Amino acid sequence: MFAAIQAHQSRQSIMNFCSHCGAPVHVRIPEGDNLPRYVCTACATIHYQNPKIVAGCIPEWQGRVLLCRRAIEPRYGLWTLPAGFMENGETTPAAAARETLEEANAVVKDLELYGVFNLPHINQVYMLFRGRLQEGQASAGAETLEVRLCEEAQVPWDELAFPVIRETLELFFEDRRRGVYPLRMSDIMRGADNRIEVRRY
Amino acid sequence: MFAAIQAHQSRQSIMNFCSHCGAPVHVRIPEGDNLPRYVCTACATIHYQNPKIVAGCIPEWQGRVLLCRRAIEPRYGLWTLPAGFMENGETTPAAAARETLEEANAVVKDLELYGVFNLPHINQVYMLFRGRLQEGQASAGAETLEVRLCEEAQVPWDELAFPVIRETLELFFEDRRRGVYPLRMSDIMRGADNRIEVRRY
């Protein structure tokens, strides 16, 4: 669920106390390592932090793609594809299908991995699957204001929630014109001047 | 680095105290959520836990594949591909190249995503890239006893460290015979009887 983004980016990534024993942590490079980590001052537990997977779907139906208008921050009111943090115990396509069900009350079948997008500045990897929207049925879930099945020309390009959504849709419609969908990978980064840079592989 | 696996699987996943304020946590389903989470009893911070990405490489040189014999637990002495936990701030191919450099002192170029393997029972997603091993050069890194460039018949099939390594190599050599490398995805799970089950998509 996207609602989790803010929590992940703020309180969760800054660590003050050891989650194992409750003592304060400090930042140091453990022996045999080469990166600074949070290490407990009492029990010496090393607390690794790693990127998170955002799994999502491009639900397709009769040449159109299902978009969701966000009912939550960040980017309230802007358009996105159904996507959210993968949960423990899931597979990546199961996570993409669950997010699609939660955000758009929509069932997707025949999922195929289409795009892997690295967002190193926010420690996320997006994994987007193409999926067949069953019977074209969808409606707004709890985190969604409305859903819309869009042809390429109907996509609200100026009201998309995230750069990764624009990148996914641009690549998808480009590939759809050719009728082939190779795996796509891009790095999407925020540069020194705060502008988004996209590097396609 | 694979050394981190045990830490991830033991102390890190069980939480006793809030890393934000140091108070005890309890397990509950937050409002608007549908899964149990660690929640702080004092400051109410919700501590999400999510799967980790293990990025790795299939380094290729003149029809052979570079394998590493592990100098660390788990699976000390068994053979693997260079792979390890992706770090914050990295892209997935950068993580795969770094692990290859750390474990086998080897430089890989032209990385292409080849396999995505879901290991839901241990909350991991492996992302394996094919890569060209520069000048066929490699040697044992700190976590490696020895390295070996193997033709298919030279792979020590009975001494592989993890089921995901076997799955990757089986698929890779199958595809190499045909000369095409479609993106591969499998779920690799431990069943109720403790046996490994592999489900290819």
Give tens-digit pLDDT for A69-97. Answer: 999 999 999 999 999 999 999 999 999 99
**What's the rounded mean pLDDT across residues B24-47?**
95
Please, are residues B52 and A49 in contact by the beta-carbon 8 Å criterion? Answer: no
Q: Which residues contact B29 (CB under 8 A, 6 or more apart)?
A: B35, B36, B37
Does residue A3 register a pLDDT over 60? no
Burial of B134 (0-12, 13-18, 19+ CB in 10 A): middle
| B123 neighbourhood in chain A, CB within 8 Å | 88-89
Chain-wide mean pLDDT for chain B? 93
Contact of A91 with B56, CB cutoff 8 Å = no
pLDDT at B11: 52
A22: distance to nearest CA of chain B, Å? 5
Alpha-carbon span A168 to A16, nearest angstrom: 37
In chain B, what residues touch A48 (CB-CB under 8 Å)?
4, 7-8, 12, 85
Position B3 pLDDT exceeds 80:
no
Share of chain B above pLDDT 90, in %: 91
Beta pairing partners, A57: A129
Q: Could A113 and B116 be called an inter-chain contact, meaning their C-beta atoms sit closer than 8 Å?
A: yes
B196 touches chain A (CB under 8 A): no
Q: Is B52 on the interface with A (CB under 8 A)?
A: yes
Assess A27–B contact: CB distance below 8 Å, yes or no. no
Give residue B5's pLDDT. Answer: 37
Contacts of A1 in chain B (CB under 8 A): 33
- Confidence (pLDDT) at B108: 98
Is some CB atom of chain A closer than 8 A to the CB atom of B76? no
Element spanning A174, H or E = helix A163-178
B104-113 mean pLDDT: 98
pLDDT reading at B79 higher than 90: yes
Contacts of A47 in chain B (CB under 8 A): 12, 19
- Residue A120: pLDDT band (50, 70, 90) is very high
Q: Answer yes or no: are the C-beta atoms of A86 and A52 closer than 8 Å.
A: yes
B97 in helix, strand or coil?
helix
> CATH number of the domain at B16-49, please?
2.20.70.10
Q: Which residue in A15, A17, A50, A185 has the most chain B C-beta atoms within 10 A of its own C-beta, making it the best mutation to test that interface?
A: A50
Model confidence at B12: pLDDT above 80 = no
- Just give the CATH number of A52-200: 3.90.79.10
Q: Is the dihedral of CA A134, A84, B7, B1 positive or negative?
A: positive
Q: Domain extents for chain A? A: 16-49, 52-200
Q: Which of A21, A34, A92 to mutate to test the interface with B (most CBs of B within 10 A)?
A: A92
pLDDT of residue A12: 62
SS3 category, A118: strand
**What does the block give as tokens for B24?**
């005890």
* pLDDT given at position A11: 53
At residue B8, does pLDDT exceed 50? no
In degrees to the nearest 10, what's the CA dihedral of A121, A164, A85, A100?
180
Q: pLDDT tens digits, residue range B135-178?
A: 999 999 999 999 999 999 999 999 999 999 999 999 999 999 99
**Max CA pair span of chain B:** 60
Average pLDDT over residues B42-51: 96
Closest residue in A to B143 (Cα–Cα): A32
| Residue A117 near residue A129, CB atoms below 8 Å | no
> Which of A26, A31, A88, A186 to mutate to probe the B interface, most B CBs <10 Å?
A88
Residue A35's identity, in one-letter code, is L
Q: What is the mean pLDDT of residues A158-174?
A: 98
In this prediction, what percent of chain B has a pLDDT beyond 70?
A: 94
Residue B13's pLDDT is what? Answer: 82
Residue with tokens 């001052």: A41
Is A8–B46 a contact, with Cβ atoms under 8 angstroms apart? Answer: no
Q: Are strands B144-150 and B184-190 parallel, antiparallel or unpaired?
A: unpaired
Across the interface, do B86 and A51 touch by the CB < 8 Å criterion? yes
Please tell me if residue A88 touches chain B, with a CB cutoff of 8 Å: yes
- Phi, psi at A52, each rounded to 5°: -110, 150
Please check whether residue A113 touches B, CB under 8 A. Answer: yes
Q: What percent of chain A has pLDDT above 70?
A: 94
- Model confidence at B23, in pLDDT bands (50, 70, 90)? very high
Candidate from A8, A18, A120 with C-beta closest to B89: A120
